[in-house]
Amino acid sequence: VTAAYIFLAVTLAPALVKAGVAPLPAHMFILYWGMLSYITPPVAIGAYAAATISGSNPMRTGFVSMRLGSIIYIIPFLFVLSPSLLLQSAFWPSVLEISTAILGVVLIASALQGYLVFVGSLIESNWAQWPARILLVLSGLLLAVPRLNVGLVSEAGGGQFFLIGLSAVLLLLTIGIAQWGRRRATQRQRA
């Protein structure tokens, strides 16, 4: 990671700063993308080491690790879009953005994994898992992406709280779809 970061810091950081990205978010962006080489095939050093220990196929382990860690591909962009995630603004706005970003990342990861905390497996819902996963991703993006401009809210009019409410509605709809699909699958098994 150190060599990749140094190379990218020398070549890419000045271009990002010149493009208008603050220095700290630019370097965090570079650091995270440098770390992705450990889980992304064909390099996937960490995944290959795990495959050797477990006795599994290294490429398959690399792709599974990439799927499990796929939320890491989004996090660097969040740093660039909102420096307050790196505590570069006032305390309470930073707390709000960090909290919503964490919840959004959890929801997106839940959609990618097919398992929602306190609800259970979405995969057991059969066909209903896909609408539930799509709603989870939308809900997670509404929470995680700072200053999301959807055209429905104004920057001064409490837009963050509107997006939190909209995300909560989508999350409740997701839970309802997952539970309904699970109940239908259980009824079919009994019949």
Structural domains counted in the chain: 2
Whole-angstrom distance between the N-terminal and C-terminal Cα of the chain?
Answer: 55
Q: What is the pLDDT of residue 10?
A: 93
- Domain check: are 177 and 92 in the same one? yes
Whether residue 146 has pLDDT greater than 60: yes
- Domain check: are 188 and 128 in the same one? yes
- Domain check: are 95 and 182 in the same one? yes
Domain end position, chosen among 81, 116, 136:
81
- Per-residue confidence band for 152, with pLDDT thresholds at 50, 70 and 90: very low
- Domain check: are 58 and 12 in the same one? yes
- Domain check: are 107 and 189 in the same one? yes
- Domain check: are 94 and 179 in the same one? yes
Nearest-CA neighbor of 46 among 31, 60, 32, 65?
A: 65
Tell me the per-residue pLDDT of 30-71, one tens digit each, with 9 for 90 and over: 998 888 877 777 778 888 898 999 999 988 988 888 888 888
Domain end position, chosen among 81, 96, 123:
81
- Domain check: are 15 and 93 in the same one? no
Q: How far is CA 132 from CA 3, 9, 171, 181, in A?
A: 41, 40, 9, 10
Dihedrals phi, psi of 116, to nearest 5 degrees: -110, 130
Domain end position, chosen among 35, 50, 81:
81
- Domain check: are 71 and 105 in the same one? no
Q: What is the pLDDT of residue 154?
A: 47
Cα separation, 19 vs 36, in Å, equals 23
- Domain check: are 20 and 52 in the same one? yes
- Domain check: are 129 and 165 in the same one? yes
- Domain check: are 40 and 60 in the same one? yes
Tell me the per-residue pLDDT of 86-132, one tens digit each, with 9 for 90 and over: 888 888 878 888 888 888 888 888 888 888 777 777 777 677 778 88
Tell me the per-residue pLDDT of 2-24, one tens digit each, with 9 for 90 and over: 888 899 899 999 999 999 999 99
- Domain check: are 107 and 64 in the same one? no
| Full residue range of the structural domain in which residue 159 is found | 88-191
